[in-house]
Structure 1
Amino acid sequence: MLVKKVVLASRPGANNKPVPANFRLEETNLALDLQEEEVLVRTLYLSVDPYMRCRMNEDTGAEYLTPWQLCQCADGGGVGVVESSPDGGGVGVVESSPDGGGVGVVESSPDGGGVGVVESSPDGGGVGVVESSPDGGGVGVVESSRHDAFCRGDVVTSFNWPWQSHAAVTGSLLHKVDPSLVDGHLSYFLGAVGMTGLTALLGMREKGHVTQGANQTLVVSGAAGACGSIAGQIGRLDGCSRVVGICGSEEKCKTLVEVLAFTGAINYRRQDVAAALRDRCPDGVDVYFDNVGGSISDAVIAQMNDGGHVVLCGQISQYNKDVPYPPPLSQETQDNLSRKKILRERFMVLNYMNKAEAALAELGRLVTTGQVKVLETMEYGIENMGVAFCSMMEGGNLGKQIIKISD
């Protein structure tokens, strides 16, 4: 079978921005004689995420992230469909996985179906009880299988989904999902009802310290992105009286307020962030969900109240720089944290996977009942993976950046 794949053609360098030319589209022949335990999947959706920028470097700077290799197929979160499987049914448990994520549909199998639980993954997309894996997510269709857990037509996810139109994937890396959990919107398994949603919900619940009736103000940076857009809504539902989002365009500001019901929004490209914060947050800031770092975070922390909480989720403004993670803070910001006894905690979703199953079920309910709105930016065609990734890194996405590979 002739399939398309995307490989890492070159590294941008630790201090440079990535460009689409860092990726290359190739065609290759995929053998259909599956090995034992392999499943043939057709990719439906793939995910691109900020942490992937670290994987473009020879040294990712994080012990749980493996670098992409030059001239090798990139991977991450995906959703797909199982297209055939000659074996039976059962239950599979993935005990650990070093790479990405995804969802797929099993399209054929002469035997039974099954359920798998991913026991390990720190990033990416997909659904399951993931206990550790540093890569992405995707959605696809199982086309054939020699694994007894999957049948033709099953929708599956994986955190190691190769950037290919079709792929032979080890069955233990796949997790079967129920499309009804997302009302058939399979791409949601890569975002709001996947690892992105888990990060937002559990990050707010475990590190945000929101209390009903406490009249708290929440500020979210990267608020119109995949994680920030969910985190702000969770904060509002959990009791924050004021939710202010920081983003990079007037369109995004309007969406935060009119669609996601944020109290206010700040366009950091056009406004003085410090002045706008004083206006939008007259009582100061109690909780800060930080997705960007840098000068924006310095401005927010400067206006935080005593005993406030910073949820350190991401630092996308620093990912094109050769600095450690988390990046060093200015002396002024360190002094503010110390003087005001502000607790700034790094959030790692991997540390809370015992709560993932219940959290995913809650996210599914919140999304399907309309209490949480889902934002997506959809790109089309595997040939546009590099374009979509670079656009996302520059803030070109509204909500989760998804690439649709096939119907």
Structure 2
Amino acid sequence: MSTAPSTQIHLVSRPEGWPTPENFQTVRVTLPELAPGQVRVANAFVSVDPYMRGRMNEGRSYVAPYALGATITGGAVGRVIESAADGVDVGAVVLHQHGWSDVVQDDAATFQVIPELPGVPLSLRLHILGMTGLTAYVGLTRIASLQPGETVFVSGAAGAVGSAVGQLARLLGASRVIGSAGSAAKVALLHEKYGFDAAFNYHDGEVRELLAQAAPDGIDVYFDNVGGDHLTAALDAFNDGGRAALCGAISTYNADGPVPGPDNMSNIVTRGLTLRGFTLGNHLDLAGEFQQRMAGWFSEGRIAYDETIVDGIDNTVEAFLAMMRGANVGKMLVRVG
């Protein structure tokens, strides 16, 4: 066994409003020799995700905020390069939550050994075949109880979760799928690659009006990644008995003060609506069901995906900030090596 260098990205100050590069620091450390039961992993890809912005704030949430002066944790996939743990061999592919670093080591129990699928990039384990796809599945099935023949609206539809939601909604029987995105190119992608029936650029006008035009017969399910004016528009567009799966609110993440809520909350009462927020950690019991169904859809060629990849662990902060500005199509990832 030996020591090893590791490059890690730390949070060094809490952002006020939009994060800046000054909130982060790249740190080079030397990892000690492995203790019994530990493994050392060279990451292939690390994930940058909108929820990470919330964890940079101090205060109550569904998970503890990031500690200052510590590595930003989150999803990553890599290979074991040294092992002092029985049953975890060198070369094994693993998923973990140790986050933004090129090399990481810890107890073997903190890594999940996964099979390497021939012809399938490892990066897909961090999105459509992993937690991203599972988030879409949970939101549509358990949270919103999507029924065949219903109309689904997805905000942030060209992102990793949104593009998964649109496809899974169709596979689960939705009759009409509508999405919003932030550019004409992304709207075209929703139509041409992801099979959305209607889509609009939310910069083209009031979201309320744009959604009313795209869904003249109303919506039954809303999968919310954006919040703000998109949630307000959905509350207007809901048919009686509509359901919303509230997954994210990226429009509010960088606000530096209180954010006003929708002005049409009374529709929840008069139309008998259900709005339910969720985080994936409370629904991991659906992972096996999702993996079985997704494996079939993927092998049949019924799943599309996009990745926006930034190279180099030193560029992780740049990738995160670009993702927060909407510069990605599909999943934003950092390719480490």
Q: Could you state the TM-score of these two structures normalised by the residue count of structure 1?
A: 0.78
Q: Which one of 2, 11, 33 corresponds to residue 14 of structure 2?
A: 11
Q: Which one of 125, 137, 159 corresponds to residue 201 of structure 1?
A: 137
Q: Does 1:37 align with 2:37?
A: yes
Give SS of 2:75's match.
strand
Structure 1 unaligned segments of length 5 or more: list them.
Answer: 83-142
Give SS of 2:189's match.
helix
Is residue 183–residue 368 contact of structure 1 (8 Å, CA) maintained in 2?
no
Equivalent in the alignment of 2:173: 239
Deviations 1:253-276, CA, capped at 9 Å, x for gaps: 011110000001110012332222
CA shift at 1:188, angstroms?
Answer: 0.9
Q: Which has the higher helix share?
A: 2
Amino acid at match of 1:39: V
Equivalent in the alignment of 1:306: 240
Equivalent in the alignment of 1:342: 273
Is residue 367–residue 374 contact of structure 1 (8 Å, CA) maintained in 2?
no
CA shift at 1:352, angstroms?
Answer: 2.3
Q: Which one of 320, 328, 331 corresponds to residue 397 of structure 1?
A: 328
Equivalent in the alignment of 1:187: 123
Is residue 22–residue 386 contact of structure 1 (8 Å, CA) maintained in 2?
no
CA shift at 1:8, angstroms?
Answer: 1.2
Q: Which one of 187, 190, 212 corresponds to residue 278 of structure 1?
A: 212
- Tell me, in whole angstroms, the C-alpha distance in 1 between the residues paired with 2:270 and 2:164: 31
Give SS of 2:71's match.
coil
- Tell me, in whole angstroms, the C-alpha distance in 1 between the residues paired with 2:295 and 2:96: 18
Equivalent in the alignment of 2:79: 81
- Tell me, in whole angstroms, the C-alpha distance in 1 between the residues paired with 2:140 and 2:260: 23
Amino acid at match of 1:312: L
Q: Does 1:167 align with 2:167?
A: no
Give SS of 1:307's match.
strand
Amino acid at match of 1:299: A
- Tell me, in whole angstroms, the C-alpha distance in 2 between the residues paired with 1:364 and 1:54: 32
CA shift at 1:236, angstroms?
Answer: 1.1
CA shift at 1:367, angstroms?
Answer: 2.5
Equivalent positions of 1:255-274 (< 5 A) are: 255-274=189-208
Equivalent in the alignment of 1:218: 152
Q: Does 1:156 align with 2:94?
A: yes
Equivalent in the alignment of 1:380: 311
Deviations 1:65-91, CA, capped at 9 Å, x for gaps: 222222222221100100xxxxxxxxx
- Tell me, in whole angstroms, the C-alpha distance in 2 between the residues paired with 1:158 and 1:323: 34
Equivalent in the alignment of 2:58: 58
- Tell me, in whole angstroms, the C-alpha distance in 2 between the residues paired with 1:200 and 1:251: 23
Is residue 227–residue 252 contact of structure 2 (8 Å, CA) maintained in 1?
yes
Identity, % of aligned pairs?
A: 37
- Tell me, in whole angstroms, the C-alpha distance in 1 between the residues paired with 2:96 and 2:277: 25
- Tell me, in whole angstroms, the C-alpha distance in 2 between the residues paired with 1:357 and 1:211: 21
Give SS of 2:194's match.
coil
Amino acid at match of 2:141: R
Matched residue count: 334
- Tell me, in whole angstroms, the C-alpha distance in 2 between the residues paired with 1:72 and 1:155: 25
TM-aligned CA distance change 1:73 to 1:288, over 3 Å: same
CA shift at 1:323, angstroms?
Answer: 7.3
CA shift at 1:364, angstroms?
Answer: 2.9
Equivalent in the alignment of 1:329: 261
CA shift at 1:322, angstroms?
Answer: 6.0
Comparing 230-239 and 275-284, the one that deviates more: 275-284
CA shift at 1:50, angstroms?
Answer: 1.1
CA shift at 1:335, angstroms?
Answer: 0.5
- Tell me, in whole angstroms, the C-alpha distance in 1 between the residues paired with 2:124 and 2:260: 34
- Tell me, in whole angstroms, the C-alpha distance in 1 between the residues paired with 2:69 and 2:274: 43
CA shift at 1:395, angstroms?
Answer: 1.2
Deviations 1:39-76, CA, capped at 9 Å, x for gaps: 011011000111111221222x31x3222222222221
CA shift at 1:339, angstroms?
Answer: 1.0
- Tell me, in whole angstroms, the C-alpha distance in 1 between the residues paired with 2:136 and 2:8: 31
CA shift at 1:401, angstroms?
Answer: 0.8
